[in-house]
Structure 1
Amino acid sequence: MRGPDIHQDTLFSTVSPADRVPKDHPLRPIRQLVDTALLALDEDFDALYAEAGRDSIPPEKLLRAQLLMVFYTIRSERQLMEQLDYNLLFRWFVGFSIEDPVWHHSLPAMESE
């Protein structure tokens, strides 16, 4: 029996990107290593940022995103932002929830394009 082709947007989701990443995916241990290294740099990051002004993009997320560019040979920040917008694996690795908006590729922190 053929199942119905139902198109319905959900109002709420209880699934996190981490739930969708296989337990044996190679990025899981890398993410743990990266998180440990970034935690050790936390005080250094705090010292680099001003006390006043608008919140920046967290440097931890920027660095994780840059690692994805290297690991998956993503050629530009524009392509990276596109992937981050819909790729649950990438969203999980960087630290985005499903609802978090993705940065614009032309933000000054991502100017190497």
Structure 2
Amino acid sequence: MDMLSKSDGTNRDQLEMVSLDKMVPEDHLVRKLEKTIDFSFIYNLVENLYSDRGRPSIDPVVVLIKLPFLQYTFGIFSMRRTIEVVNTNLAYRWFLGFAFYD
């Protein structure tokens, strides 16, 4: 009798209830960064650059500060590669405040 188990990949499309917060380890560097650095002061600095009308803007802290911060910290040298990595790395998504489908 053969005891070797092989995965057939059927679990890949399984629907699960998960929390992004639970998927990022407590000791991950992005958690330490988020806990240590208060990025909220940036909103006051750029507030006059945004209109009250029209569609909601993209969060300036994410685009102008956190995304380049990830690039520098983790040695990602192109914006295209950064977007690819953010699409697949749950810790980076957590740091940026993105949900699973953002």
Which segments of 5 or more consecutive residues in structure 2 lack a partner in the other structure?
Answer: none
Cα distance in 1 for partners of 2:19, 2:41 equals 26
Give the partner amino acid of 1:46: E
> Distance between the aligned counterparts of 1:51 and 1:30, measured in 2?
31
Q: Which runs of 5+ in 1 are unaligned?
A: 101-113
Runs of 4+ in 1 over 6 A off after TM superposition: none
**TM-score of the pair, normalised by structure 1:** 0.72
Instruction: Find 1:87's aligned residue among 81, 86, 89.
Output: 89
Task: Return 45-54 or 88-97, whichever deviates more.
Answer: 45-54
Question: Distance in 1 between the 2:60 and 2:98 partners?
Answer: 13
Cα displacement (A) at 1:47: 2.2
Q: Which has the higher contact order (CA 8 A, sep 6+)?
A: 2
TM-score by length of 2: 0.78
Aligned-residue CA RMSD in angstroms? Answer: 1.9
Is residue 42 of structure 2 the alignment partner of residue 30 of structure 1?
no
- Given that 1:17 and 1:88 are in contact with CA atoms closer than 8 Å, whether structure 2 keeps it comes out as yes
Aligned length: 97
